[in-house]
Amino acid sequence: MKTSNKIVIFFFGALGGLLFGYDTGIIASALVYIKGDLQLTPIGEAWVVSGIILGAAIGAIGSGFLSDKVGRKKVVFIEAVIFTAGSLGCALSITATQLILFRFVLGLAVGGASALVPLYLSEMAPKEIRGALSALNQVMIITGIVMASIIGYILTSSADGWRIMLGLGVVPSIIMALGALMIPESPRWLIAKNKEAEARAVLLKTRSQTIAEEEIIEIKRVVALEDKGIREITDKWVRPLLWLGIFLAILQQFTGINAVVYFTPTILVGLGVAPADAILYNVGLGVVML
């Protein structure tokens, strides 16, 4: 049971969370300059920001179905490619329409990562650290937001700084794509596809033989229960958990934290704060969130 295997698997598995945070957070700094360069109206600003959210809604749904069909590993790679294409497209956009379109493309990957990363980490993690690793995704998201704020501040005086801010997303996305070639497939997905020998080999990368065999038995039991598919959400014991999850997600949005993340520098500039100072204050916000 090699510690190095765990580090590689969990680092690259969680990298999607970092990209999620960076690509959603960097627009706060970039928008201060984009609206002047592309002559955005207030409605245009809203579309540039929300394009990624619309894409994320579609990506979150699509990645779940796709990962069940072709596997978690392949979808991680696909999302990395989309992150790369979206980041490059945003950086090279010369009209507001192009920028909105590529923000939407980025959203497909952001939504996919929000659904797939916690799933992959929970399926790969040994029982004793499963809870902590599930929380790792959220930590990586906030870390990405903080990184975005810091990079935004560093690039405030650069020519075409907002393009560099958006384009730098290709760096972690390329690393994520390379990592996707190294990480193993989810053992739960392998067992669901009747590939028990491959699942055992994956589990042995991070577990002892005894624990791996115990988990195979447990995974088989869970997979058998999941054969009901989407009909499972109608079970009486599932419905309260489902509604609780929906309620908590809605409540999180009602706090307005997303508006704070996206528009703090723009609001401060509108109040007379210098752009560089407004972005610096946004760094402080990110640190508090972390």
Taking residue 74's Cβ as centre, other Cβ atoms within 10 Å add up to 14
Sign of CA dihedral 220, 223, 227, 228: positive
Handedness of CA 59, 177, 165, 94 (dihedral sign): negative
pLDDT band at 285 (very low <50, low <70, confident <90, very high): confident
pLDDT at 22 (0 to 100):
94
Name the H helices within 168-208: 170-180, 187-192, 196-203
**Helix, strand or coil for residue 255?**
coil
**Residue of 154, 114, 139 lying closest to 29 (CA atoms):** 154
Q: What percent of the chain has pLDDT over 70?
A: 95
- What is the H or E stretch that residue 60 is in? helix 42-70
More confident residue, 225 or 211: 211
| Least reliable range by pLDDT among 118-127, 129-138, 147-156, 279-288 | 129-138
3-183+260-289 has which CATH code? Answer: 1.20.1250.20
Is the pLDDT score of 1 beyond 50? Answer: no
| Total residues found in the chain within this entry | 290
pLDDT digit string, tens, across residues 268-282: 999 999 998 999 988
% of the chain surpassing 90 pLDDT: 56
Q: What is the pLDDT of residue 228?
A: 58
Average pLDDT over residues 70-88: 95
Give the pLDDT confidence of 203-214 residue by residue, as tens digits.
998 888 888 999
HSE of 246, CA atoms in CB hemisphere, 13 A = 7
**Rounded-to-integer distance, Cα 73 and Cα 184, Å:** 7
pTM value is 0.88
| Stronger pLDDT, 195 or 130, i.e. the higher one | 195
Tell me: pLDDT of 7 over 90.
no
The full DSSP string for 111-160 is HHHHHHHHHHHHHHS-GGGHHHHHHHHHHHHHHHHHHHHHHHHHTTTSTT
Reply yes or no on whether the pLDDT at 50 is more than 60. yes
Confidence of residue 189 (pLDDT cuts 50, 70, 90): very high
The C-alpha atoms of residue 131 and residue 142 are separated, in whole angstroms, by 18
Q: Where are the domains of the chain?
A: 3-183+260-289
pLDDT value at 231 more than 70: no
